[in-house]
Structure 1
């Protein structure tokens, strides 16, 4: 595969924004992602919530942070998302950042 095809392929990946709900290991965080789905019969937009296991290799996310995540290769049974960056840190003190 050429470099141009590889770059185009990577750009098509969707990035999601969610909130860190818990830290479940040294390199794993649980992120809640909200999305709006149109109801098939009534047409009303309904809020759906998904809970994803996300790989955080540097341990930079803390509970309550708003984070951006992208899909990656499967890392474990439930973990197939990777942390890109912390969009907005939580209001909590920075002293507990990165603790597991």
Structure 2
């Protein structure tokens, strides 16, 4: 396989940055909606991912796109690809 086919197989997710206090790392909250298997109600499931942010460009509240990558540390296997929406500063 060439490089384009390999990169196409990586998962991408969209989430919100909840912490940027670490150096070159951001914590991103990804929310998904699913139907409860018994009751049928739509419920929200959330998960936090530690994301490698090489340029420290993500800020709290930003909506970002992350992509699966190689393991960088024990808990960090995702890479920040782009900032979709910058958070509003009040």
Structure-1 separation of matches of 2:72 and 2:52:
8
Superimposed CA distance per residue, residues 8-64 of structure 1 (whole angstroms, 9 cap, x where no aligned partner): 232122211111111131100011110012211122221111111100001111111
Match of residue 74 from structure 1:
71
Match of residue 97 from structure 1:
none
Moved over 3 A (4+): none
Across the two proteins, how many residue pairs are aligned to each other?
90
Q: Which has the higher strand share?
A: 2
Structure 1, unmatched stretches of 5+, are 94-100
Instruction: Name which one, 1 or 2, has greater alpha-carbon Rg.
Output: 1
Q: Which has the higher helix share?
A: 1
Structure 2, unmatched stretches of 5+, are none
Task: State the secondary structure of the residue aligned to 1:10.
Answer: helix
Contact 2:17 2:29 in 1 (8 A): yes
Over aligned residue pairs, what C-alpha RMSD do you find? 1.5
> Alpha-carbon deviation of 1:67?
0.4
Structure-2 separation of matches of 1:80 and 1:38:
28
